[in-house]
Amino acid sequence: MIKLVFYILSILIISLILFNNPNSNIQNNFINQSKLLNFSSNQIFIQKVIFTMVNIFIVLNILTNIFKY
């Protein structure tokens, strides 16, 4: 049961990371440094979701290792 949750969570995290592409059309990073920090609201939301899911994954890993014995 727990392994299934880990698998689903990891697939969701990987797909969200691949879906999130904040700087796809910037050709000159040194000239356009101001564009690097400009994120749309959708990208910020996706980044928050990724951060939350990664934290849940880490906490679940720690809890399963503590209560395994």
Contacts of 6 (CB under 8 A, 6+ apart): 57, 60, 61
Quick one: pLDDT at residue 27? Answer: 45
Q: Stretch 62-66: mean pLDDT, rounded?
A: 90
pLDDT at 55 over 70: yes
Distances 29 to 34, 49, 60 between C-alpha atoms, Å: 9, 26, 38
Position with higher pLDDT, 28 vs 56: 56
Q: 16-53, pLDDT tens digit by residue? A: 888 887 665 544 444 555 555 566 777 888 899 999 99
